[in-house]
Chain A
Amino acid sequence: MSSRKIVIAGASDAGFKIALAAHAAGHDVTLVDEHPQALKDMSFDAPWFYGAGLPSALMNDNSIAQSVLEASPQLMECIEAGIDVRVSTVLWGAFRNGPNCLHVGRPKVGLVTREGNEILEHDALIIATGVRDFVPSFKGWELPGVLGGKAGLALLDLYQVFEGKRVVVLGSDELALRVVRSARERGVEVAGIVEPGESVVAGPEAAAWLAAQDIPVHLGQVIAEAIGKTAVTGVKLVSLDNRPSEEIACDTVAVAIATLPNIELPAAMGCEMHYVADAASWIPRTTAQGETSLEGVFWLSDAGGGNGDLHTAILDRIGGAERDSRVTAAPSRKVSATGYITSWIDALHKTGGDDVVLCQCETVSRAEFCGLAPPQYLGKSLRHPQTPLNHGDDATAPRINQDFMKRMTRVSMGHCQGKRCRDEAIFALSLRFGIGLESIRPASYRFPLRPIDLTLIADDDETDDIRLNWQMWPYETRQG
């Protein structure tokens, strides 16, 4: 088997494992991961939702790097094995020849760090980008102290800079329980768990453990508001059956409802996607060899990507085995993320009202979004009310196009590239217009996968060919 250049995007558990396997098989491996992110990038809340209250200890790059190495034996193992590991590196784009694009040459990924950028050529790309936080809107969700479950775990365990003393956790599935355990291990008090359902989602054993630890579980309730003037000082809850609302004092609200796969890379590359209800996401269709519709591009999901047999199949395929075009089903989960997220959003939107800001970057409320209101800076309204529903007699056509909603309302068009609000936006449309999630065309993902300073990425090695042949569009009228 000949050695191939393999780029692995994402030092998730699956990413580490296949990096080691590929290296052991003699391939030339580069493993890229965006963490630890620059403080500015963390503030965009992608992939992990840190919110507006980033601890100042994060500014100490050296101690953060040390903490990460201590907390991640797999990272240490990869480095010691001699794998080219690039941390704090954003893979911002991937480019390859394909229809209407014949001049890229060998497949390329664009990498960027705080110092500069590099275009890296490769034979195969393995996407193991893991998951990101799902954080729905509620009143006060922009306050410092509101953060996502993954971000909370990163601050607690990975960077060890968590500043909160008393946390309320939203959600009661595995992720929420992990946050509760980590918080308590670090001496952070858990003031309560909030769950719209009638029981703890993680199961009776988890419920019993919570009871034994004296952690209050607020069933049949959701958050009405994160209270506080400049930072969170408490939460106000609201019950789904109109019981009086409760207030709990806390300095942190950990939104640990669900995570969603980081699909922006395969989606922006044009991999064929399908809606998987269990994951509450569109994910790439893959073959038994983990290969997407694009040759040489592989997808390892967070749910099933750690499987060693799959890694062997992928590496065989990269080594030259025939493409096995049988498409595999996505691994199923205990709890359907679609059902669970829907229950949260339905409850939050029914109890929270229409004036809650859905899109933080562009300050657009739920009502403005669903009513297609023009952005406020235009100071204009629509002459007649309009609907996002597509009409036609093609039964297979999407009924709502999220890109259209984006363009009209600017929801998901801001600094965070829609990472905070695009998923809630789809669920809200589905609930309000009675359209199945799979019938909504999700907003396109575009490169770059994270916002990047122009100076970091602007071409500094432009060839004469590009410079001299640059076309002055549209008034170039040179004749052949």
Chain B
Amino acid sequence: MQSYDIIVVGAGILGLSTAYRAQKAGAKVLVLDAGATAYEASSRATGYLSLRGETPAESPLAQEAEKLWDGLDDELGYPTEWTQKGRIWAALDEHEFADLQKLYRTFQKTDVPFEFLDGATMRKMIPCLSERCLGGIWTNRSGHANPQRTSQAFGWAFTDLGGEIREYTPVLEVLVEAGKVKGVRTPQGEIHCGNVALCAAAHNPLLLKPFGIHFPLAPVRLEALVTTPMPPLFEQAFIGNGLSIRQTKRGNIHMNGGPYEWINLEIGREAAKPTTQTVRNIMRRAIETMPVLKGAQFLRCWAGIVDIAPDQMTTIHRFDSPEGLVTAACSGHGFGMSPAVGVAASELLMNGATRMPIEQLSLDRFRDTPSDWRERRRWEAGQYNT
């Protein structure tokens, strides 16, 4: 009978980061995924580290992630394309400007050095930024990396240490005996272990449901696109006019944002991720934001699925019952958070506690969330653009 110390469900960036830390700390770890490595949210990610000015309760963990990002290439031995050149939230109209001013008051509750700048100062930082930019928020901290390379860097560093990844092996059920985790069930049979880490995005709630555990997460489909390479334009992680816009090291402009569609997932099934004509609206906004993008060519678009909690924050939770079970999900900013989440989740599994600042991120905060929260929020499957 195969047996592992820890089985990680989900070969996305959170799962691989957790698996890497646990294997490095001496555990025998197996990662299982319903599909291929980094094929769901981890392939959709913009690639930003957000320091979470929007949700200050998460900011301490994000800042731990930032410290880990700075040494990640050397730690893992594989390039992640980490670029530490700061982050910008730009307003292109009065409405957005007012929103950002309001948001800035929340940002100031963190100990990250955020500043509010005028349009001219922003255009000095990003010369291709539209004349319409009125100003916004800036920090010289945080940055961005290549989502696929980073996920794979964790994956390779994990298998270099003797860890094992099995793709196309969905977990159908977490097995529990006498209040303790004993393994998982897959279509190929049971695999036994002492601990399970659920890092399977919006599949987490489905796998927790049999234990009467309510993890409020709503899956949503979002669209992204990339252009042909452009000359170097900007290195900051840019947000504005309803888009995230990142220039990759190769020069391609990667962008996403806009209408999104709430959906449901099924256990063990790869979800359909179609794209729509909405990409035309994304392009229009991109040109409004940086007119130089008129000269770019639309190269490809895709959709991804992101899991969102009611408060749009990270959750990391260790259960008392069943024993040996941890879950993590990050509401669409897991890419940046992943180095710290991996440390936290692996420590929770192996030591029962972690040095990472996750006090406010447990599932306990949803104790009063009603079971029909998605309907109330208009986040149930089929809702669009709400």
Contact = CB atoms under 8 A, between A and B. Distances in A.
Contacts of A479: 377
B121 interface: no
Contacts of A447: 275, 279, 300-301
A380 B259 contact: no
B284 interface: yes
Contacts of A415: 228, 297, 299
B290 to A, nearest CB: 10
B127 interface: no
A345 to B, nearest CB: 25
Interface in B255-299: 256-261, 263, 271-281, 283-287, 293-299
A104 B279 CA distance: 13
A99 B298 CA distance: 25
Interface stretch (A138-146, A214-222, A296-304, A450-458): A450-458
Contacts of B377: 479-480
A243 to B, nearest CB: 43
Interface string B151-188: 01000110010001111110000000000000000011
Interface in A428-472: 441, 444, 446-448, 451-455, 457-460, 462, 465-466, 469-472
B300 A93 contact: no
Nearest to A467: B281
Contacts of B279: 93, 447
Interface stretch (A285-293, A314-322, A401-409): A401-409
A403 B249 CA distance: 19
A101 B275 CA distance: 8
A98 B73 contact: no
B144 interface: no
A102 B382 contact: yes
Interface string B83-104: 0000001000000100100010
Interface residues of A, number: 66
B310 to A, nearest CB: 9
A110 B271 CA distance: 24
Given A101-B221, A452-B297, A473 B256 contact: yes
Contact of B277 (A104, A377, A441): A104
Contacts of B384: 102-103
Contacts of B332: 473-474
A108 B277 contact: yes
B54 interface: yes
Contacts of B89: 475
B259 A454 contact: no
B273 to A, nearest CB: 7
Given A102-B384, A270-B274, A459-B281, A383 B79 contact: no
A398 interface: yes
A417 interface: yes
A76 interface: no
Given A374-B79, A392-B166, A457-B283, A270 B298 contact: no
A101 B274 contact: yes
Contacts of B239: 475
A51 interface: no
B81 interface: yes
Contacts of A80: none
A93 B277 contact: yes
Nearest to A410: B250
Interface string B373-386: 00011110010111
A100 B271 contact: yes
B302 interface: yes
A69 B105 CA distance: 66
A390 B79 CA distance: 21
B284 A480 contact: no
A477 B274 contact: no
A397 B167 contact: yes
B242 A470 contact: yes
B242 A471 contact: yes
B256 to A, nearest CB: 7
B50 to A, nearest CB: 8
A394 B187 contact: yes
Given A101-B261, A390-B36, A457-B280, A383 B78 contact: yes
B217 to A, nearest CB: 14
Contacts of A270: 272, 274
B277 A391 contact: no
Given A374-B79, A378-B79, A404 B36 contact: yes
A471 B37 contact: no
B337 interface: no
B312 interface: yes
Contact of A474 (B156, B249, B274, B312): B312
A393 B167 CA distance: 9
A384 interface: yes
B27 to A, nearest CB: 19
B296 to A, nearest CB: 5
Nearest to A394: B168
Contacts of B284: 458-460, 462
Contacts of B261: 100-103
B135 to A, nearest CB: 16
A153 B379 CA distance: 55
A398 B76 CA distance: 27
A57 interface: no
Contacts of A375: 250
Contacts of A380: 73, 78-79
A119 interface: yes
Interface string A393-425: 110111001011001101000010100000000
A375 B146 CA distance: 13
Contacts of A396: 168
A144 to B, nearest CB: 22
A297 B298 CA distance: 25
B301 A446 contact: yes
Given A462-B281, A480-B378, A408 B149 contact: yes
A386 interface: yes
Nearest to A472: B242
A232 B364 CA distance: 71
A212 interface: no
B257 A377 contact: no
A382 interface: yes
A391 B280 contact: no
A459 B283 contact: yes
A457 B286 CA distance: 12
A471 B280 contact: no
Contact of A407 (B149, B297, B299): B149
Interface in A68-106: 93, 95, 98-104
B77 interface: yes
Given A469-B259, A471-B259, 17 more contacts: A100-B274, A104-B276, A110-B277, A110-B280, A374-B79, A377-B250, A383-B78, A384-B77, A384-B156, A393-B169, A398-B168, A404-B152, A448-B301, A454-B296, A462-B281, A473-B256, A475-B54
22 contacts: A99-B271, A101-B272, A103-B385, A378-B79, A378-B81, A382-B77, A383-B157, A383-B160, A391-B164, A391-B165, A394-B187, A401-B167, A408-B149, A410-B250, A448-B300, A453-B295, A454-B286, A454-B296, A457-B280, A458-B283, A471-B260, A475-B312
